[in-house]
Structure 1
Amino acid sequence: MSKKRLFSFLLLPLLLLTACGITEELEQAKNNVADLKSALTEQSDNYQQLSAYIEEIPEAFQLDREEDPDMGLFADETGEVFDNLQVRQELHSTMINTQKKIKNIKKELDRIVKKNGADVNNSQLTIISRSLEIVTSNFDSLSVYVETSVSQEQQFYDDLPMKEENMDDELSIIQRTYGAMDIVSEEAQANIDYTLSLIKTFEKDAAQSKERGK
């Protein structure tokens, strides 16, 4: 056997192993990005639901006042306002878990980028990862406002009944917190949409890369 044929014979298994490794990295990237798309879509829906619950608070407050002018329903852990607060806290817990998924997927994407697979568009994955940092920052800000609003609401209802002028001032403070939550929520959804557009581009290029590899 000539040296040239021997070299080719020894090189072939190495090339096959390398190709399999690269394909595996591409598949890992595609799977993680698909999971990320699902998690981000779920989180966007959660933001929308939270905003919807906040919009229902004034009506819930009015209904409770009509039933009990002293607003004793909240202290008894009943009424529309109490139920609204409960579902918002439950939703926030769900959002925390979803955000943990997003953070874990980001770590996996960063790990894949470090491998520098030849058929993986690592620059696109890096941009997606950096976009997720903004999404995470948005959620961290929202969580601060959620905790603040819960504290404000509980203090407000504990202090009832109070004079009407004091009630208006206290409600104004709480409503400002709601407004801040809405602003962060809108920004978060916009950043999620942008990240989803990056994912769409990556998936399109990844599909073409796989076709070229056949």
Structure 2
Amino acid sequence: MRLIDIQHNYDTIFSLGDRCLTANKLRHFKLRPYAGIVDWMLTPKLSKIVNLLQNRFENFMNKETMVCEGYNHLIFGHLLLKDTVYDITSVHDFPIERNTPENWETYSEFKTKLERRIQRFINKLETCPMILFVRIGGTYEEAKHLEEILSEIVVSEFRVLILNEVPNRRLIEYDWGLQYTCSIGIPIEKRECNDFWNMILNNITCNDMLEDYIDFLDD
């Protein structure tokens, strides 16, 4: 798909990682009506996100398969807790005021919040006529598999936008020949390249946004 093919109105929009930047950009353009499941997590492998969707989030972030990998040094004050099955790391959910590497006091609160987000996500997959999924990082093979799994679990229509890093200050549209996926290359992290984000997201709208919408990190 070309960029112009996905630039229209959606009933809801979700980030599929691979970092908080995806959710932050959606929020900036008022395209994030509520928190997705992995908005504030590190999800380096799209293949693991595909597995997570395929498994319907079974055993996701179970305490028995999580390990503490230290402290979040980018956003000080939180532990880094990793799900070793899906290679996904929570970076915002365990403040050091209430948690230590050995004792995760807020785990039950985190798990309750996560289950709420999972149920909302599944409900939207079953009820929304058109959904957009946005992801930073992914290969053609991973995107093809993602399409296959989403086709099984999304009741109506969906589109996928995958953005990959390129070194130069330019926007590249890749012709992957996938039915539902648009693949774009941009210099993702460079602040001076915000105009590329504008080019991509400005012509996308979301029905689920409220006029009095206020975004919370913890929603």
* TM-score, normalised with respect to structure 1: 0.25
Decide which structure has greater helix share.
1
Q: From the CA coordinates, give the structure whose radius of gyration is larger.
A: 1
* TM-score, normalised with respect to structure 2: 0.25
Decide which structure has greater strand share.
2
